[in-house]
Structure 1
Amino acid sequence: MPDTARSADRRPGSSILVTGATGNLGREVVHRLQAHGAHVRSLTRHQPAPRAGVEPVVGDVADPAVVREALVGTDAVFLIWPLLDSSSAHDLVAELNAAAPRVVYLSTTAIDDEAARQSDPIVQVHMDMEALLHGAGLRPVVLRSDTLASNTRGWAPQLRAGDMVSGLDIARTAVVDERDVADAAVAVLLAQHDRLDQGLHLLTGPEVLSRADQVAHLGAALRRPLRFQALPGDLARSRMLADGRPEPLVEALIAASVRRPESNRITDHVEGLTGRPAGTFAKWAVDHAAEFS
């Protein structure tokens, strides 16, 4: 299995392209690639702050001209698809096919491989993207991630204002530390081809948690008696729209809260790729407690 402790084996002058490079997960991937001495090219919608060793490309991952520019001299891509529709991904896949890099795609453990249609639009677009990449013959390494711990950063304004988090009560999942997902991604991106473990990896944390459980862990880290309040769909919708979230995303989140089944699956795939067990959400909460104060 690849080991993140190994140094990069990229060819001189080659680059690793990271899409969504300024997001919660993307920036962790960039940071780790830099630590390995890899040349990183970041694709972001807005001009990022300058970072040594990171070459920025500004534009939309759905724009084939932008993708074509970003892929020049690139031999590996960490791909995050940010849209709820895969129709505009066909041009992206065509550009990837032409450039023929190694593709590591971030997907979701919520996919049901036995179902023709998925539970909600968020899961459906991931299944569609996987099908597109495989159908093009790209042989992607797919990292299906469970709910990222960093998603709870959206609760910070509420916790700075009081001791209650209110929102949609989405089904319990094995919440995974985004740092573990980043380590797994980098292990694959830097792997030598003869050691590369092609195929599918299910990245989970070590325990299944509800939103109330996550709030309780944050409370322990902050030493405050926090509570979670589940909101009915209509109230959650109005609040998310008032906060400026796009309506398609709001409707997709509502659908996920109603239709997505609970998952009790826990895997050791993080350890298989990184050489160490996945961290707990409780540890993540302690490490990030200052962000909620």
Structure 2
Amino acid sequence: MIVVTGATGNVGRALVTRLVADGRAVRALTRAPETAGLPDKAEVVRFRPDDPAPLFTGATKLFLYVQGAGGRLPELLDAARTAGVRHVVLLSSGIVQEGADETHPIHVMHATAERQIRDSGLAWTFLRPNAFATNALQWAPQIRVGDTVRGVFAGMLTAPIHEDDIAAVAERALLDDGHEGAVHRLTGPAATTNTDQIAAIGQAVGRELTFVEVAPEEAAPLFPGTPPAFLQGLLKTFAATVGVPPEITTTVEEITGSPARTFGQWATDHAADFRP
């Protein structure tokens, strides 16, 4: 049995779908099973961080999404180990690397999780993706109602990765030998700017879209609900990518046998998300 936390998130949902298709026993944890919409053959269970022990009965492996741990990761890991889980695959972040700003909120969150997992006694694999292609969904509300997209840093360079490519690597890390103790850095296959991404989405939906750059100090309305300190960390990270070629790895292909998909492919896969 493989337990998947964050099962209704972009990566978790793709992973559950893959594992079920491969005939694996999957227990998908979510706070709202009644609206999860996961494959019928998945065992969909309500996530109860205050009573984690029953979540892991009969399980041997765990896919972990930090935000899906309910802020109680040590207790969750202890319950998993006690129940018989032996290997955890963590969806970490590419920001965790040598020379990184260790005060950045995203770094703090994921580096702390990695440390707690190392200390848990469980075998582990860390997936450290850089930019997610799904970050482009932040523009969907604007694209549904018009052809102009307002955002920060038109020239920021990233190599966005398709969520299903992350899920494909997670699947292999859970099922194949040789991934224990490994750190896999994951990216898409090519650098794109925000302007490039808007153009690719426009092509996918059959419209000509324009990206209009907004000054960072005016960006708060574009990130509703984001705490100010967290937003400042994000903007600092974004600013540092302008004109700087991003890290590009071939890890997806090396592990799965298939090359990472381009942002254009992702946009085609998600065209319906951008249509009215």
Scaled by the length of structure 2, what TM-score is found? 0.87
Which of structure 1's runs of 4+ aligned residues deviate more than 6 A?
none
- Aligned residues of 2:150 and 2:214 also touching (Cα < 8 A): yes
C-alpha displacement of 1:234: 4.4
Residue of structure 2 aligned with 1:223, choices 188, 206, 211: 206
- Rounded to whole Å, the distance in 1 between the matches of 2:153 and 2:103 is 16
Deviates more, 1:160-169 or 1:73-82: 160-169
Task: Say if 2:165 is the partner of 1:180.
Answer: yes
Instruction: Give the drift of 1:49.
Output: 3.6
Match of 2:258 among 263, 269, 276: 276
TM, length-normalised to structure 1:
0.82
SS at match of 2:2: strand
Q: Give the aligned partner of residue 131 of structure 1.
A: 115
Tell me if the contact between 2:128 and 2:183 (Cα under 8 Å) persists in the aligned partners: yes
Letter in 2 for 1:173: T
TM alignment of 1:10-89, pairs within 5 A? 15-47=1-33, 48-49=36-37, 51-60=39-48, 63-65=49-51, 67-82=52-67, 88-89=72-73
For 1:141, what is the secondary structure of its paired residue? strand
Q: Hey, what's the Cα distance between the residues in 2 that align with 1:146 and 1:237?
A: 23
Match for 1:237 among 217, 220, 223?
220
Q: Are the counterparts in 1 of residues 169 and 252 from structure 2 also a CA contact under 8 Å? A: yes
* Residue segments in structure 1 that go unaligned for 5+ positions in a row: 1-14
Does the C-alpha gap of structure 1 residues 160 and 209 become closer, same or farther in structure 2, counting only changes over 3 Å? same
1:146 and 2:130 aligned = yes
Pairwise CA RMSD: 2.4
Give the 3-state SS of the residue equivalent to 2:9 in structure 1: coil
- C-alpha displacement at 1:287, in angstroms? 2.3
- 1:239 deviates by 4.5
Select 1:257's aligned residue among 235, 248, 262. 235
Moved more, 44-53 or 159-168: 44-53
- SS of 2:98's equivalent in the other structure is coil
AA aligned opposite 2:47 = G
Q: Following TM superposition, by how much is the alpha carbon of 1:95 offset from its aligned partner in structure 2, in angstroms?
A: 2.1
Given that 2:123 and 2:180 are in contact with CA atoms closer than 8 Å, whether structure 1 keeps it comes out as: no
Instruction: Tell me which of 190, 214, 222 is aligned to 1:207.
Output: 190
State the 1:119 CA deviation: 5.6
Structure 1 residues 23 and 37: CA distance shift in structure 2, 3 A: same
Note the alpha carbon deviations across 1:21-60, whole angstroms, 9 max, x for none.
1111111001000100011101111122464211122125
Identity over aligned pairs, percent: 34
Partners of 1:151 and 1:233 lie apart in 2 by 17
The alpha carbon displacement at 1:97 in A equals 3.3
Q: Structure 1 residue 289 and structure 2 residue 271: aligned?
A: yes
How far, CA to CA, are the matches of 1:37 and 1:20 in structure 2? 20
* AA partner of residue 235 (structure 2): S
Q: Residues 50 and 161 from structure 1, CA distance in 2 versus in 1: closer, same or farther, beyond 3 angstroms?
A: closer
CA distance in 1, matches of 2:229, 2:32: 26
**Letter of the structure 2 residue corresponding to residue 30 of structure 1:** V
Q: Structure 2: where are the runs of 5+ without partners? A: none
Alpha-carbon separation, structure 2, partners of 1:89 and 1:34: 26
Contact 1:169 1:257 in 2 (8 A): no
Q: 1:64 to 1:93 in 2, by over 3 A?
A: farther
Q: Deviations over 1:197-249 (max 9, x none)?
A: 541001110112222221121122223221222333443223433xxx2x43x
Structure 1 residue corresponding to 2:75, chosen from 67, 91, 99: 91
Is the alpha carbon distance of 1:122 and 1:189 closer, same or farther for their aligned partners in structure 2, counting shifts above 3 Å? same
Q: Report the 3-state secondary structure (helix = DSSP H, G, I; strand = E; otherwise coil) of the residue aligned with 1:69.
A: helix
State the one-letter code of the partner of 1:68.
A
Partner amino acid, structure 1, of 2:210: R
Aligned residues: 267
Segment drifting more, 135-144 vs 252-261: 252-261
Cα pair distance change 1:96/1:169, threshold 3 Å: farther
Question: How far 1:79 moved relative to its partner?
Answer: 0.5
Are the structure 2 counterparts of residues 49 and 289 from structure 1 closer, same or farther at C-alpha, using a change threshold of 3 Å? closer
